[in-house]
């Protein structure tokens, strides 16, 4: 039994029709997961598909539907937004927060993301907090301090209880959708940096309970190598999660025991 959950998370982004979503959810839910090894599958879908996909995944233990975002405030005059309390009322218990596309295209800052994390936790939703550096920062060798600042600004106010079993996804921006994957050593280095940050802020037991997923061009051909690293606890998968056989193979690449 792993000390923390091993998670394969699909991020469908803004893709698929309703019928295509249902077909894909049905196809991937055929893949059995090893609940005894603490495996879980999250499927992050566009808001309108949360309920239909939830219906399909409901009967599969260890499978959960996940929102791709939520609002930084709970309710009010915010046209087009969806709040954590609305998600809670729909029994949605996971949400991506701070994906790099939200940071870049919708100007979500570390401070806004701290608010989103708070709204999620107040409403019983498990955040999947995304972090990661752009290429320019990696080229200057400043990736560790960059990611540590993202963690400090958005997460360091959380209590030990809130950080226990938390989920973080490290996604180097230069590897997202580019076909350019970080090497498993680069992933392990950053995941260890993140785990050490948690140890410093909280303690080693809390750090050992946090699932740290890698994202950025994960596919069936590289998943086992990346997931095999000691501090990599699964992946957040975009493009390859839209192809049923690819994502099923990625699920079966999660670390055993």
Q: Using CB under 6 A, pick the residue from 108, 133, 171, 233 that binds ligand PGA.
A: 171
Q: Using CB under 6 A, pick the residue from 98, 132, 172, 216 that binds ligand PGA.
A: 216
Comparing CA positions, the residue from 134, 58, 59 lying closest to residue 92 is 58
Reply yes or no on whether 99 is catalytic.
Answer: yes
Residue nearest ligand PGA, CB atom distance: 238
Nearer to ligand PGA, 50 or 218 (CB): 218
Give the x-and-dash track for 108-147 against ligand PGA (CB under 6 A): ----------------------------------------
Q: Is 177 in the site for ligand PGA (CB under 6 A)?
A: yes
- Count of C-beta atoms within a 10 Å radius of residue 189: 16
Q: Is 98 in the site for ligand PGA (CB under 6 A)?
A: no
Q: Cα–Cα distance between 203 and 187 in angstroms, integer?
A: 22
Q: Is 218 in the site for ligand PGA (CB under 6 A)?
A: yes
Q: Is 176 in the site for ligand PGA (CB under 6 A)?
A: yes
* Token pair belonging to 14: 């803004």
Q: Using CB under 6 A, pick the residue from 103, 215, 234, 251 that binds ligand PGA.
A: 215
| Catalytic machinery residues | 99, 171
């Amino acid at each position: 039994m792993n000390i923390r959950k091993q998670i394969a998370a699909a991020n469908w982004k803004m893709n698929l029709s309703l019928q295509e979503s249902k077909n894909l959810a049905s196809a991937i839910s055929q893949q059995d997961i090893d609940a005894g090894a603490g495996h879980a599958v999250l499927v992050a879908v566009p808001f309108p598909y949360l309920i239909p996909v939830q219906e399909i995944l409901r009967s599969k233990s260890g499978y959960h539907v996940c929102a791709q975002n939520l609002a930084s405030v709970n309710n009010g005059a915010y046209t087009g937004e969806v709040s954590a309390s609305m998600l809670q009322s729909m029994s949605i218990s996971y949400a991506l927060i701070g994906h790099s596309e939200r940071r870049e295209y919708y100007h979500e800052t570390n401070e806004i993301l701290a608010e989103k994390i708070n709204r999620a936790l107040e409403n019983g939703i498990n955040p999947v907090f995304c972090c990661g550096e752009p290429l320019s920062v990696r080229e200057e060798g400043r990736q560790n301090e960059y990611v540590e600042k993202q963690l400090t600004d958005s997460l360091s106010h959380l209590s030990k209880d809130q950080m226990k079993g938390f989920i973080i996804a490290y996604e180097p921006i230069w590897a997202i959708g580019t076909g350019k994957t970080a090497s498993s050593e680069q992933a392990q280095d950053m995941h260890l940096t993140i785990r050490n940050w948690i140890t410093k802020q909280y303690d080693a037991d809390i750090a050992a309970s946090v699932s740290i997923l890698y994202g950025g061009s994960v596919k069936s051909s590289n998943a086992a190598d990346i997931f095999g690293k000691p501090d990599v606890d699964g992946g957040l998968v975009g493009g390859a999660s839209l192809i049923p056989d690819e994502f099923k193979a990625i699920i079966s690449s999660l670390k055993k025991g």
